[in-house]
């Protein structure tokens, strides 16, 4: 069952990445003589690609963090960075273009809260990982925190998908 869910998530992320890439190419590499990219599409049309980018950025960060937590990555994370919900690519989008375009949407407020809590849970996981203390209690705490982190990730994904469908 977990493999099936991962496959769905990977397939969905690949689809979103493809859509985001096509939108980027369409908006930023117009042919000479075409209307300027920003003028060629309405503000409403730009919401879709922005959200696609946010979805892909979030999934990429989540996978990188989980690889770090599992010890299968050479990348390092600091608690000080991870706890800041405006430091990741999704955070930049939320507090920038996302807020500008979708800030009035009720789901956007939920997204901001879920994303903030996701970063708090991630920071606790990084702290646990860096402490290198392995007792039965810390392993149980780690499992609970990973579960909590994944719930917040799922909530962020749902919020982003709701915003994508509404835009």
C-alpha distance from residue 34 to each of 39, 45, 130 (Å) = 10, 17, 53
* pLDDT per position as a tens digit, 143-152: 899 999 999 9
- With beta carbons less than 8 A apart as the criterion, state whether 98 and 86 touch: no
Residue 150 lies in a domain: yes
Residue 36 lies in a domain: no
Residue 103 belongs to what domain range?
42-166
Q: Residue 122 above 70 pLDDT?
A: yes
pLDDT score, position 131: 86
Residue 4 lies in a domain: no
Q: How many CA atoms lie within 13 A of 13 on its CB side?
A: 15
How far apart are alpha carbons 162 and 84 in whole angstroms? Answer: 24
Residue 26 lies in a domain: no
Burial category of 135 from C-beta neighbours within 10 Å (exposed 0-12, middle 13-18, buried 19 and up)? exposed
pLDDT score, position 125: 93
Residue 158 lies in a domain: yes
Domain CATH code at residue 136? 1.20.120.30
| % the chain with pLDDT above 90 | 49
The total number of structural domains that make up the chain: 1
Residue 125 lies in a domain: yes
């Amino acid at each position: 069952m977990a493999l099936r869910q991962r496959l769905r998530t990977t397939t969905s992320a690949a689809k979103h990445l493809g859509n985001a890439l096509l939108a980027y190419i369409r908006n930023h590499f117009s042919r000479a003589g075409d209307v300027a990219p920003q003028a060629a599409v309405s503000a409403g049309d730009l919401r879709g690609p922005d959200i696609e980018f946010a979805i892909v950025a979030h999934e990429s960060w989540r996978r990188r963090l989980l690889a770090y937590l599992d010890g299968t990555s050479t990348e390092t994370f600091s608690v000080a960075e991870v706890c800041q919900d405006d430091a990741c690519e999704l955070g930049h989008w939320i507090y920038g273009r996302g807020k500008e375009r979708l800030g009035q949407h009720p789901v956007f407020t939920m997204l901001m809260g879920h994303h903030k809590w996701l970063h708090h849970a991630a920071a606790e996981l990084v702290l646990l990982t860096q402490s290198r203390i392995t007792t039965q209690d810390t392993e149980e705490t780690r499992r609970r925190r990973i579960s909590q982190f994944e719930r917040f990730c799922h909530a962020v994904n749902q919020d982003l998908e709701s915003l994508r469908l509404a835009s």
